[in-house]
Copies of this chain bind each other. A is one copy, B any other.
Amino acid sequence: MELRQLKYFLKAKELLNFTEAAAALYISQSTLSQQIKQLEDELQVPLFNRIGKRITLTEAGNLFAVYAQQSVNKASDGLQFIKDLNNLETGKIAIGVTYALRHVVTKALILFSSEYPKIQFEIVFGTSQELIQKLNHFELDVILTFEEIASEEHFKYQELFTSPMALVTSTETPFSNKKSISLEEVSALPLALPSNGFSTTQFINKAFKKDNLNPKVTIEINDIPTLLELIKTGNWHTILTKTTIENEKDLHAIPIKGENMTRTAMLISLKDVYEKKAVIAFLKILMENLAVN
């Protein structure tokens, strides 16, 4: 039994397709077949059912996968630990961000990079769901998003700050100087909203439904910069957390009245995996610079 074989097995388990798994592992399908077979021979039990050309996990395969994953994880934790120890000068930080929180990350990124210029970054923008999936696949070290309804046991959560939901409108519009605005007033305006995958949209739609309001949503779009362009024309308005349009010159955010009309920005990472030193240092800088806001 070797880590190589365990990794092969886990990828095959994930994709339930030897051909695709082999491609993902950059090996040939025949190699994968052979290595899986070898592992099965050693365990003296099949890990997969071969039903025709489809494969499914056996009971043994399903149970063994837990140990295989842990073994692989421990080894990779060890590797990561050493990398960090070596020199806080190598390593890569993979961070996922919802678009609304981009300013938080960019600010920290600039500061951190001047202090530790050799650390590589991978910044992934996406919806909360996309990011959480990547986190679960060990593709990200940490994600920065708004609070989720369902908190999961294997995640570590850390609150950063709260930001009110706000009507975002061009500075040109007549009511752009209002201090606050009610949901009912908002529902009467022509709206362009982020598409349904965005948690902000899910959040605000719930609020509309609760108050029996029928907002006039004329546009749904899954790209925030484009959305903001549209808003700047003054023809539409949108609803975002206030923090989303920090540093946007021609836009104004009017907080929406009502309780629970704030969202909490959070750091989410996986429990029980080794925390990279570089990530810890980066988050330290990130959090220190929240206070300045």
What residues make up the interface of A, taking CB atoms closer than 8 Å to B? Answer: 1-4, 6, 42-46, 49-52, 56, 58-60, 63-64, 66-68, 70-72, 74-75, 77-79, 81-83, 85-86, 91-92, 138, 154, 270-274, 276
> Smallest Cβ distance from A216 to chain B, in angstroms?
44
Kindly report which residue of chain B lies nearest to residue A50, judged by CB atoms: B272
Q: Could you say which of B6, B60, B66 contacts A85, with CB atoms under 8 Å apart?
A: B60
Majority-rule SS of A interface residues? helix
Shortest CB distance A56–B (Å): 7
Expressed in whole angstroms, the minimum distance between the Cβ of A114 and any Cβ of chain B is: 23
Contact in complex: A78, B86 (CB < 8 Å): no
Complex Cα distance A40/B71, Å?
20
Query: What is the total number of copies of this protein in its complex?
Result: 2
CB distance B82 to A43 under 8 Å?
yes
- Within 8 Å by CB of A70, from B74, B92, B271, lies B74
Contact between chains at B67 and A78 (CB < 8 Å): yes
Across the two chains, which residue of chain B brings its CB closest to A138?
B56
Q: Is the CB of B81 within 8 A of A49?
A: no
Interface-centre pick from A6, A67, A91 (highest chain B CB count, 10 A): A67
Given contacts A3-B3, A75-B67, contact A273 B81 (CB under 8 A): no
A211 to B78, CA, bound (A): 54
Residues of B within 8 A of A276 (CB): 59
Question: A58: which B residues are within 8 A, CB to CB?
Answer: 273-274
A78 CA to B39 CA in the complex, in Å?
12
Partner of A92 from B4, B59, B68, B85 at Cβ < 8 Å = B59
A173 to chain B, nearest CB (A): 49
Give the residues in chain B near A74, CB-CB below 8 Å. Answer: 67-68, 70-71, 74
- B75 near A71 (CB under 8 angstroms)? yes
A272 & B51 in contact (Cβ 8 Å cutoff): yes
Q: Are A43 and B79 in contact (CB under 8 A)?
A: yes
Q: Min CB distance, A52 to chain B, in Å?
A: 7
Cα–Cα distance between A52 and B271 once the two chains are bound (Å): 11
B75–A68 CB distance below 8 A:
yes
CB of A3 to closest CB in B, whole Å: 5
Residues of B within 8 A of A85 (CB): 45, 59-60, 63
Please measure, in the bound complex, the distance between the C-alpha atom of A82 and the C-alpha atom of B68, giving whole angstroms. 12
Q: Which residue of B lies closest to A61 (CB)?
A: B274
**Closest chain B CB from A260 CB (angstroms):** 34
